Structure 1
């Protein structure tokens, strides 16, 4: 589901940049949980929150509502890891971000198929 998400800065997918890897995705169908760790390309990546938001939106749009999502940065791979993880875990902040039409447009570009 998430391997084909486009990077906001590079003409490559998150999988091609090794931002997302299958081994860092955990699905527990019985407990209805999905956990995704993503690794920004550099420790000071300014797009980390946008990448995490794109992953979360893709999962929200694709999975049944019963699933609880946990999208977070791979520990030790980003300078602002705790702040970004806190934002991504806050349902109200995620909802508010998606009400921003410009931000939603950028997320949708990340999720659209490349031509």
Structure 2
């Protein structure tokens, strides 16, 4: 259900092979969601300029059903910016994260929606 998607100018060769598997438990813990529902994806080699330069940069989106909000997002931002800076070398002033709180009826799973699953 939660999905942390990162698009970055960082080349694929510089993305640690275990980055996504290391990031899932961090995301799950931050959101208080079960790991089996969490997804992390990285799209490397995206031609991108941030502030007029092509130094390492990224744009990210965190989608979740709940667990997002003004105060919660501050905590999520701290954890996720730290993760991306440590693992991908993208400094926190070279990336934006958008937070997307989706209603259960807007997220499909197992041939239906979470609205139908959760009742």
TM-score (norm 2): 0.40
Larger Rg: 2
Return the TM-score normalized by structure 1: 0.41
More strand by share: 2
